[in-house]
Amino acid sequence: MHNQESTAAGRHAETAPAATDIRMETRKLSVFYGDTAGVNDVSLSMYNKKITALIGPSGCGKTTFLRSLNRMHDLTRGARVTGQALLDGSDIYAPKVDPVTVRRRVGMVFQKPTPFPTMSIYDNVVAGLKLVGIRNRAVLDEVAEKALRGAALWDEVKDRLKAPGGGISGGQQQRLSIARALAVEPEVLLMDEPTSSLDPQSTIRIEELMSELKKQVTIVIVTHNMQQASRISDYTAFFYVGDLVEFNPTAKMFTNPNQKRTEEYITGRFG
């Protein structure tokens, strides 16, 4: 049965509009923890300046898949990735590719806001720039403002940029994390359940923000919340026990899914 589903998923290219170009793409990508596969042979395209949502029940491999897109698994003992992940056509897992460079191009926002608590708001935003050696104050100021505006946080913090990054509200901290990721102008932004630890109001702000952000950046978001996926994403991928079951434009996915299991999941029959 899984085989059938995988094959169906492999045909997603037929249903996707060919006009949109592909920013990132995986080919038969698998992630193993020891001998167990967390993600099985997933081939998935992420279109330029679109939001791709990854949905599925807990433990289905969606976060594992997301973390393979900027080589975060390199940091986990015993984790192993096979297959390809292409960023603008070149494989980020090819030998001689420096994961540090990959992570500069593919930014990430986590489930919990992760400002560096000992740094000021300002220093948090420019942390990534300082890493690449940019010290010019004028440049940093400009980027900080741009990133904070981009993350819809500027108006709230412009008068206290020197305040500690841990001293603002949870929703603001998450937007600060987004600003920090945006400051280095990544091509792809990975978001791992970015609103699951936030209150509804902050969640709405971040969802609005994402629709703004996709004008500049390709977004891949993992979410537990199917309403969120249907509200904000252009494409949706449904994962189940490590397999990609279905990938389709969000509108189609939530009205007329190809797979029975997708329908069961999005109508709440399991998950």
Partner 1 sequence: MAAAPSTYELVRRTPPLLYRWLGDRIFAVLVTLFGLTVMGLAISLAVVLFWEGSEAIKTFGFWGFLIGTTWDPALTLTFGTFPFLIGTVVTSVAALALSFFPALAVAIFSAEYAPRWLSHIIDALVDLIAAVPSVVVGIWGIFVLAPWLRDHFYLPLYMWAAESRPELLPIIGSPMGYGMTTAVIVLALMIVPFTAALSRDAIRLVPKAQREACWALGATRWEVIRMAVLPYARSGIVAGAILSFGRAIGETMAVAMLIGNKNTLPFDLFGPAATMPSVIINEFREAVENLHLSSLMAIGFYLFLISLIVNLLAAYIQRKMMVAGGRSA
Query: What is the distance between the alpha carbons of residues 167 and 35, in angstroms, rounded to a whole number?
Result: 42
38, 83, 128, 249: residue in contact with partner 1 (rule CB under 8 A): 128
Which residue, 209, 202, 211, is CA-closest to 168? Answer: 202
23, 175, 180, 261: residue in contact with partner 1 (rule CB under 8 A): 180
Q: Count CB-CB contacts under 10 A for residue 23.
A: 22
Could you say whether residue 34 binds partner 1 (CB under 8 A)? Answer: no
Q: 């593919």: which residue's tokens?
A: 106
Could you say whether residue 110 binds partner 1 (CB under 8 A)? Answer: yes
152, 32 in Cβ contact below 8 A?
no
9, 29, 60, 72: residue in contact with partner 1 (rule CB under 8 A): 72
* Residue number, 128 or 242, with CB nearest to partner 1: 128
Query: What is the distance between the alpha carbons of residues 191 and 166, in angstroms, rounded to a whole number?
Result: 20
Could you say whether residue 75 binds partner 1 (CB under 8 A)? Answer: yes
Binding map of partner 1 across residues 140-179, x = CB under 8 A, - = no contact:
------------------------x-xx---------x--
Q: Is 49 exposed, middle or buried (0-12, 13-18, 19+ CB in 10 A)?
A: middle
Could you say whether residue 194 binds partner 1 (CB under 8 A)? Answer: no
Query: What is the distance between the alpha carbons of residues 268 and 270, in angstroms, rounded to a whole number?
Result: 5
The site for partner 1 (CB under 8 A) is made up of 70, 72, 75, 77, 100-101, 103-104, 107-108, 110, 112, 114-119, 127-128, 131-132, 164, 166-167, 177, 180-181, 184
